[in-house]
Amino acid sequence: MAKDKQKTIPPSVFRGQAQRAAEHAAGDAFLAKHFQFISPEMASSFTPEQRVALRHMFMSREEGKHLIDSRHSFPLGRRRYYYVFLFGRDKRPIERLRREGMLSRGMTLIVYLIGLLLLMLPVFGILYLFKSALGVDLFPNAGGHEAGRGFLEQIFSIFG
């Protein structure tokens, strides 16, 4: 079975669509951007009230501020990949989360356990350094004793 060749659309077609969309958006750059993806007949059929509603609907999606909003694209081989990391307060009501299946006790437990592990690793590292500096040998020949002694000598030189 032969593979169908994809049509290549010349850039002039997109420029034409963008120009027609701008004409139907009546000088509104936001609507012109979105109208270029629909037919000119459909774009011209929107009433002023519908245009306001469209603007309100799409603009409300852009208002979502996040504490952390990291979006990057990177090349890998011949392709490009992207990642998006968003972190912030979830303002959706519990009923909606349940309806959409977004509440999961198992996933919540995993997130809490990973967070606890990440918080505890530095604490265990510091405790191990103190243990080694004091000469307590729980793991013979582990190799961390000299580092622990050096760390304790630095602490004593700062505070003592």
**pLDDT, tens only, 90-145:** 888 888 888 887 777 888 889 899 999 999 999 988 988 888 788 777 656 656 66
Check residue 79 and report its DSSP letter.
E
- Give the whole-angstrom CA distance, residue 152 versus residue 159: 11
73's enclosing H/E stretch is strand 68-76
Is residue 154 domain-resident?
A: yes
Task: State which residues form the domain around 49.
Answer: 12-63
- Give the whole-angstrom CA distance, residue 79 versus residue 10: 22
End residue of a domain, out of 26, 42, 63: 63
pLDDT-based confidence at 81, cuts 50/70/90? very high
> Is residue 18 pLDDT above 70, yes or no?
no
Q: What is the pLDDT of residue 76?
A: 92
> Is residue 11 pLDDT above 50, yes or no?
no
Mean pLDDT of the chain: 77
- Give the whole-angstrom CA distance, residue 108 versus residue 31: 40
Is residue 55 domain-resident?
A: yes
Is residue 103 domain-resident?
A: no
Is residue 56 domain-resident?
A: yes
Give yes or no for a contact between 54 and 46, defined as CB atoms under 8 angstroms apart.
Answer: yes
> Is residue 82 pLDDT above 60, yes or no?
yes
Average pLDDT over residues 71-92: 90
pLDDT-based confidence at 2, cuts 50/70/90? very low
Is residue 29 domain-resident?
A: yes
Q: Report how many domains make up the chain.
A: 2
Report the share of the chain in percent with pLDDT over 90.
17
Q: What is the pLDDT of residue 31?
A: 77
Q: What is the pLDDT of residue 1?
A: 47
Is residue 87 domain-resident?
A: no
Is residue 41 domain-resident?
A: yes
Is residue 136 domain-resident?
A: yes
- Which long-range CB contacts under 8 A does 120-124 form with residues at least 24 apart? none
Give yes or no for a contact between 148 and 125, defined as CB atoms under 8 angstroms apart.
Answer: no
pLDDT-based confidence at 19, cuts 50/70/90? low
Task: Tell me the DSSP string of 83-140.
Answer: EEEEE----S-HHHHHHHT---HHHHHHHHHHHHHHHHHHHHHHHHHHHHHTT--SST
Q: What is the pLDDT of residue 89?
A: 86
